Amino acid sequence: MSALFILMRRELSLAWGRGGGALYACAFYAGLATLLPLAAGAEPQRLAALAPGVAFATLALASLLSLERLFERDFEDGALDLLVLGSPPLEAVCAIKCLAQWIATGAPLAILAPVIAIALGAPPVLAPLIVATALLGGIGFAFTGGVGAALALGARRGGLLIAVIVLPLFAPPVIFGAGAIQALAAGLPWTPGFVFLAAYGLAAAALSPFAMAAGCRNALS
């Protein structure tokens, strides 16, 4: 059994064993969506027009909840020192952590996303694209969020610092994902936004581990 596979099992176990896994993020997601009719009004046509964009924007905010624990827990108990000294490269360790974060939190949020959008009035025909864009967007949120989590290691009020760092980085996937969904709803070509979203997610998965590893080494030095 490889070290990376063991690490993946450990990260998934910690994600579900402490902090409720995706339950808090999903509850937060549903709560944000519930507030929208109270703020924008309950007119079905207005809510239907806002549903795709709001569902994706609130998905980004819900993804923030578990980022603070991505490296901080290992940093505090000394496990991060052992991971740095282990045989797998630290970049691969960071990638595995983000992948586990996406499986434990991003994927359940992506499954919930079409339910939220349809509840707000989006056409059910948009559900497959909402799931696909939420899954791709979740990869971008997990890996770019990992950069913020690594840079905030050891800082006081790290959760606030992570939000300040990563929220600007969350803007492109929100724009591309919500744009693709709204284009399909309007009968326009939706593939450009989807392709840009996929490119963002792949670029984040390829480049972010190097920034995360550098941030972890800096926190430990």
pLDDT given for residue 208 in this prediction: 93
* Contact call for residues 137 and 173 (beta carbons, < 8 A): yes
pLDDT at 40 over 70: no
pLDDT given for residue 198 in this prediction: 94
Average pLDDT of the residues in 10-30: 76
Please state the domain count of the chain. 1
Q: Which residue has the higher pLDDT, 69 or 212?
A: 212
pLDDT at 19 over 60: no
- pLDDT tens track for 71-90: 888 888 788 888 888 788 88
Q: Provide Rg for the chain, Cα atoms.
A: 18
CA distances from 160 to 21, 85, 145, 204 (A): 20, 29, 12, 22
Q: How far apart are CA 145 and CA 66, in angstroms?
A: 10
* Residue 183 structural domain: 3-220
* Average pLDDT for the chain: 84
Candidates 218, 221, 216; CA nearest to 75 is 216
Candidates 22, 49, 48, 9; CA nearest to 110 is 22
pLDDT at 69 over 90: no
Confidence of residue 20 (pLDDT cuts 50, 70, 90): low
pLDDT given for residue 24 in this prediction: 80
Structure token pair of residue 97: 């952590």
CB atoms under 10 Å from CB of 42, counted, come to 10
Q: How far apart are CA 165 and CA 53, in angstroms?
A: 22
DSSP H helices in the chain: 3-17, 23-40, 44-63, 69-77, 79-85, 90-101, 107-119, 127-151, 158-185, 191-220
- pLDDT tens track for 158-192: 677 888 888 889 999 999 998 898 898 888 999 99
CA distances from 203 to 72, 107, 139, 140 (A): 24, 19, 10, 8
The amino acid at 76: E
Q: How far apart are CA 159 and CA 102, in angstroms?
A: 18
Residue 125's Cβ-count burial label (10 Å; 0-12, 13-18, 19+) is exposed
* Contact call for residues 123 and 42 (beta carbons, < 8 A): no
